C-alpha cells in the first residue's frame, strides 16, 4: 500500500523564481494538507485541500498557492521565492471525515527539501 | 495558535522514562502525537480525543486534560529506537504542530 508520495525530493531554486511541488495522497485519502518545516522547527500549516477547494489556510502570504486535482493529488506553488522559503515541505493526507482524522491521524510524505539561493 | 511543547530536548539512557508536555491556548477536539526521525517523515503515534478516549502505541501512553488543554506523552523503559523528535498536533479547525521535543536515547 503506497503511502504519501512527494516529488521532487530535493530542489534548488534561485531567489525570485517560482516552484511547484507535488503530492499524491495515500490510497483512499481525499484530503491533503501542506506544511513548511524549517530546520529544527515544527511543521507550520500552509493550507488544506478537500474536494478540490482550499478548506483552511495558515498564516502564509499569497505567494503560496495550491491546487487539488480530481484524483486527490495536489500541488503547492510558491512564487517570487525568498531565501526564507528554504525548508522541508511536507504533504499530509487524511480522509475528509473528521472522525477519521480523530481516529487515525495524518499520513505524511517524506517531503521536498527546497533550497533557495 | 500553535501548541507549546516542553522540554525542547531530552537525553536518556536505555530503560529510563521521559515525559513530554504539550499545551494549547484553544479548546481542542483532539491531540495527536507524531515522531520524526532525522530525514524522515513524521509518523503517527497516538491520538487523544475529548472524553478521554485514547488510541495508540503499546509502550507509549499519553494523557489529555481537556479543561487545561494540555497533553503529556509518557515514554517508559525507553529503547534506542525511541530517539527522534516528538511533535504534538492540536486539532481545532486544522492541525497545528508544536516546535518539537528532541529525544535522544543512549545505550
Task: Judge whether B62 and B54 are in contact, CB under 8 Å.
Answer: yes
Give the integer Cα–Cα distance in Å for A49 and A69: 10
Residue B4 has a pLDDT of: 94
Min distance A24 CA to chain B CA atoms (Å)? 14
Contacts of residue B55 in chain A, CB cutoff 8 Å?
Answer: 103
Interchain pair A106, B44: CB under 8 A: yes
Chain B 73-92, residues with CB within 8 Å of chain A CB atoms: 87, 89, 91
Interchain pair A43, B87: CB under 8 A: yes
Judge whether residue B12 has pLDDT over 60. Answer: yes
Return the minimum-mean-pLDDT range out of A66-80, B51-65, B79-93. B51-65
Return the minimum-mean-pLDDT range out of A40-49, A69-78, A90-99, B69-78. A90-99
Judge whether residue A116 has pLDDT over 60. Answer: yes
For residue B5, which of A13, A40, A23, A97 has the smallest C-alpha distance?
A: A40
For residue B103, which of B19, B3, B4 has the smallest C-alpha distance?
A: B19
Q: What is the pLDDT of residues A34-71, one digit of tens each?
A: 999 998 899 999 999 988 999 889 999 999 999 999 99
Residue B56 has a pLDDT of: 61
Cβ of residue A108 closer than 8 Å to a chain B Cβ: yes
Task: Judge whether A113 and A19 are in contact, CB under 8 Å.
Answer: no
B-interface mutation test, from A43, A59, A88, A95, most B Cβ less than 10 A away: A43
Q: Please name the residue of chain A whose CA is at the shortest distance from the CA of residue B87.
A: A42
Task: Judge whether B27 and B69 are in contact, CB under 8 Å.
Answer: yes
pLDDT band at B79 (very low <50, low <70, confident <90, very high): very high
Cβ of residue B95 closer than 8 Å to a chain A Cβ: yes
Residue B73 has a pLDDT of: 92
User: Phi and psi of A77, rounded to 5°?
Assistant: -115, 135
Distance of CA A99 to the CA centre of its chain: 22
Amino acid at each position: 500500500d503506497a503511502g504519501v508520495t512527494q516529488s521532487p525530493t530535493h530542489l534548488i531554486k534561485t531567489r525570485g523564481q517560482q516552484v511547484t511541488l507535488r503530492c499524491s495522497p495515500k490510497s483512499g485519502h481525499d484530503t491533503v494538507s501542506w506544511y513548511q518545516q524549517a530546520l529544527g522547527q515544527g511543521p507550520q500549516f500552509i493550507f488544506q485541500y478537500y474536494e478540490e477547494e482550499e478548506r483552511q489556510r495558515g498564516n502564509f502570504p499569497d505567494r503560496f498557492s495550491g491546487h487539488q486535482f480530481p484524483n486527490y493529488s495536489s500541488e503547492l506553488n510558491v512564487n517570487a521565492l525568498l531565501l526564507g522559503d528554504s525548508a522541508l515541505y511536507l504533504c499530509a493526507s487524511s480522509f475528509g471525515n473528521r472522525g477519521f482524522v480523530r481516529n487515525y491521524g495524518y499520513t505524511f510524505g517524506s517531503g521536498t527539501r527546497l533550497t533557495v539561493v | 495558535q500553535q501548541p507549546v511543547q516542553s522540554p525542547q530536548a531530552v537525553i536518556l539512557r536505555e530503560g529510563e522514562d521521559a515525559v513530554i508536555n504539550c499545551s494549547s491556548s484553544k479548546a481542542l477536539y483532539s491531540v495527536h502525537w507524531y515522531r520524526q526521525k532525522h530525514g524522515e517523515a513524521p509518523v503517527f503515534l497516538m491520538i487523544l480525543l475529548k472524553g478521554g478516549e485514547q488510541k495508540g502505541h503499546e509502550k507509549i501512553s499519553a494523557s489529555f486534560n481537556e479543561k487545561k488543554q494540555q497533553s503529556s506523552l509518557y515514554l517508559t523503559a525507553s529503547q534506542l529506537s525511541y530517539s527522534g523528535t516528538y511533535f504534538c498536533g492540536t486539532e481545532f479547525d486544522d492541525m497545528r504542530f508544536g516546535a518539537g521535543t528532541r529525544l535522544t536515547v543512549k545505550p
